[in-house]
């Protein structure tokens, strides 16, 4: 019976992740319409898109520390309320400040869910596959959200996708809040023994997880932007580009759970190194060939690498928290902060590079960075493996 209760608790968590992502990406297909309706400049449109990332960057670290003190489940339930409230504000918005307010609430919800939610999925005693399934739930939201938003906006109006996001989030939040904490999830609260100041920052596994998520932050925005621009220049239609990105989301959904299963059997350091190497290999493809076929292969391979590395880096962060004695929330918050900063910088750097330098240069630079981090992590496999074996021997 306890196993059934734990499984249902994780299912409601996966549903929370799904609806939060659906609510977040609903704005993407609506950007041209919102720009016309509200007379937005290109800068204001970019700000509308990136507000959620800014909000997540600001809140993720303090929320991680708070989750260590009060537990993760109450914060995830609050995140659902933020999704509902933010969706309502967006549905009723009639000006840019109101749109930004709604997006900020969604961003706060993302910061909570991708910190406290990951704490629940990756709690000590849970299989690593639970983290992979959480990442896959986010990928499913990426796949469904834009399609649902586009259909509702075309048939009803631009307010409808936001209203639907709130309507989806409300019952899921209520279900999650009414469920009692399972015994494994309760262990996500930080241990009574305080860690030494700066222990997490000095722990190699935490540092490696941060490096991996910095790469993820860069490649997410840069890859989508540079890849779509190159495909457009090659003559591929917008619908064709959309199909490719949908296929990439399907790859994400398939790869993330498999990555989680691998995390149950292999060193998290070695897996993170492999993920960085795979991502670096994908980014070498456009350096050698910029044809439509090559860019399509790059996008799919990059999505697979991102899904795997996302899962591995969260698992590695959890291992680093355990070895350093730091709170899991603080460590995951630190990792998310690293991702957020890079996610803000990456698209800006790609925009500046496009048209001014050969676009093979940013692809090559990212590939070299990924392979360099992979080499660094592969060189540390033996110490990490000894730690892992020592932890298993002490259980």
- Of 145, 163, 186, the position where a domain reaches its end is 186
What local confidence, expressed as pLDDT, does residue 263 receive? Answer: 84
Q: Does residue 227 share a domain with residue 178?
A: no
194 within some domain: no
Q: Domain range for residue 275?
A: 199-394
Among 255, 1, 249, 264, CA closest to 133: 255
328 within some domain: yes
Q: Does residue 206 share a domain with residue 109?
A: no
Q: Does residue 220 share a domain with residue 244?
A: yes
CATH number at residue 302: 1.20.1250.20
- Of 136, 163, 186, the position where a domain reaches its end is 186
192 within some domain: no
Sign of the CA dihedral running 145, 146, 149, 150: negative
What local confidence, expressed as pLDDT, does residue 382 receive? Answer: 53
What local confidence, expressed as pLDDT, does residue 180 receive? Answer: 65
Q: Does residue 228 share a domain with residue 156?
A: no
Among 302, 136, 119, CA closest to 218: 302
- Of 186, 210, 226, the position where a domain reaches its end is 186
Q: Does residue 209 share a domain with residue 137?
A: no
The per-type count for the chain, helices as H runs and strands as E runs, is: 17, 0
- 235 vs 172: CA distance, rounded Å: 42
What local confidence, expressed as pLDDT, does residue 393 receive? Answer: 46
Cβ neighbours of residue 103 closer than 8 Å, sequence gap 6 or more: 27, 48, 51, 52, 55, 86, 90
DSSP class per residue in 232-301: HHTT--HHHHHHHHHHHHHHHHHHHHHHHHHHTTS-HHHHHHHHHHHHHHHHHHHHH--SHHHHHHHHHH
How many domains are contained in the chain? 2
Q: Does residue 315 share a domain with residue 294?
A: yes
Q: Does residue 323 share a domain with residue 381?
A: yes
- 47 vs 223: CA distance, rounded Å: 19
Distances 285 to 113, 213, 243, 244 between C-alpha atoms, Å: 34, 21, 20, 16
Distances 159 to 107, 262, 388 between C-alpha atoms, Å: 19, 42, 51
Give this prediction's pTM.
Answer: 0.79
Q: Does residue 281 share a domain with residue 208?
A: yes
What local confidence, expressed as pLDDT, does residue 213 receive? Answer: 92
Q: Does residue 313 share a domain with residue 243?
A: yes
What parts of the chain have a pLDDT lower than 50? 1-6, 183-198, 201, 383-395
């Amino acid at each position: 019976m306890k196993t059934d209760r734990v499984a249902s608790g994780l299912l409601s968590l996966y549903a929370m992740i799904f609806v939060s992502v659906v609510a977040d990406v609903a704005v993407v297909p609506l950007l041209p319409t919102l720009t016309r309706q509200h007379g937005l400049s290109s800068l204001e449109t970019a700000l509308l898109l990136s507000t959620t990332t800014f909000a997540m960057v600001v809140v993720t670290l303090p929320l991680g520390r708070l989750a260590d003190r009060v537990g993760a489940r109450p914060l995830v339930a609050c995140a659902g309320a933020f999704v509902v409230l933010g969706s309502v504000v967006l549905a009723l918005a009639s000006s840019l400040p109101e749109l930004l307010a709604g997006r900020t609430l969604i961003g706060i919800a993302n910061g909570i869910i991708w910190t406290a939610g990951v704490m629940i999925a990756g709690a000590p005693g849970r299989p690593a596959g639970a983290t992979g399934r959480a990442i896959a739930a986010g990928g499913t939201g990426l796949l469904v959200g834009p399609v649902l938003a586009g259909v509702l906006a075309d048939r009803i109006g631009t307010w409808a996708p936001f209203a639907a996001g709130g309507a989806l989030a409300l019952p899921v939040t209520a279900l999650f809040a009414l469920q009692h904490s399972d015994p494994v999830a309760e262990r996500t609260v930080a241990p009574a023994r305080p860690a030494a100041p700066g222990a997490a920052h000095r722990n190699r596994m935490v540092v490696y997880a941060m490096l991996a998520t910095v790469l993820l932050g860069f490649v997410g925005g840069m890859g989508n932007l540079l890849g779509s621009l190159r495909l457009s220049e090659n003559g591929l239609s917008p619908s064709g580009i959309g199909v490719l990105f949908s296929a990439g989301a399907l790859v994400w959904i398939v790869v993330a759970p498999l990555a989680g299963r691998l995390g149950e059997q292999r060193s998290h350091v070695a897996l993170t190194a492999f993920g960085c190497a795979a991502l670096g290999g994908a980014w070498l493809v456009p350096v050698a060939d910029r044809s439509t076929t090559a860019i399509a292969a790059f996008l799919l391979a990059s999505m697979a690498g991102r899904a795997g590395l996302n899962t591995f880096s969260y698992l590695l962060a959890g291992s680093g928290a355990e070895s350093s004695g730091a709170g899991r929330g603080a460590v995951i918050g630190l990792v998310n902060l690293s991702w957020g900063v890079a996610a803000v910088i990456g698209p800006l750097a790609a925009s500046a590079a496009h048209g001014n330098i050969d676009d093979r240069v940013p692809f090559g630079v990212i590939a070299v960075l990924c392979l360099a981090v992979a080499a660094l992590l592969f060189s540390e496999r033996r110490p990490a493996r000894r730690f892992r074996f020592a932890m298993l021997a002490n259980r």
